[in-house]
Amino acid sequence: MSIQDTYLFTEGNFDADLVQKILPDEINAKIKIVSAEGYSNLLSKARSLLIHKPESKIILVLGADVSSDEEVNEKISFIQTYLSVVAAADRFEVFLQVPEIESIFLEDKDLAEEIVRTYALNPDFKGTDFKLSDLEFEFAKEKPKKSLERLLGGERNLRALIESDLSEEFVLKIRKLDFPQKLIKYIEQLSLDTAA
């Protein structure tokens, strides 16, 4: 198996764009990122690929859509069981961002505030000394997509942040956060393993 036989599946286009943005170019050049258009399609496409391309390796990156550790573990277990019916467990890996993929922007309070100050359309936030209280930050982490849309000025602005606006400086800071680091290190290790 070669690293070129690695497919990274996400639930939607936004998720695929976000993952592609946070992964270094050298990783993006080696793997295929696939937007599955929904959770059920993600599972179905991943399972189908495992069956029809026996040399493939699958990485699933998705929002947990739940918050409790028990529910997160149940979701991971379900996905692993569903896929292990057709392939050995070493052919796939599941990465869940809790509770949503947009939580990546809220792993670090200072970085979240800096992104809002830099990219928000709302003049009350942009270019100011905008700060989130601890309570506001905890609430934002519970509903990251809605909170970011509100703070940035709408869904379109959240999408624009990923598609073009997010500077390399911010991308490098995001890559250092926990979830992106785990994903990057996993793919780097996979690349080394398949080269050996």
pLDDT tens-digit profile of 65-98? Answer: 999 999 999 999 999 999 999 999 999 999 999 9
DSSP label of 155? H
CB contact at 8 A, 179 and 104: yes
Structure-token pair, residue 39 = 């959770």
46 Cβ contact list (under 8 Å, min separation 6)? 7, 9, 36, 58, 60, 83, 92
pLDDT digits (tens, 9 = 90+) for 106-138: 999 999 999 998 888 777 787 788 899 999 999
Give CA–CA dist 105/49, Å, rounded.
31
Per-residue CA distances from 138 to 150, 163, 187 (Å): 15, 27, 30
Give CA–CA dist 169/16, Å, rounded.
20
Residue 167 C-beta-side C-alpha neighbours within 13 Å: 8
pTM equals 0.93
pLDDT digits (tens, 9 = 90+) for 28-66: 999 999 999 999 999 999 999 999 999 999 999 999 999
CB contact at 8 A, 61 and 15: yes
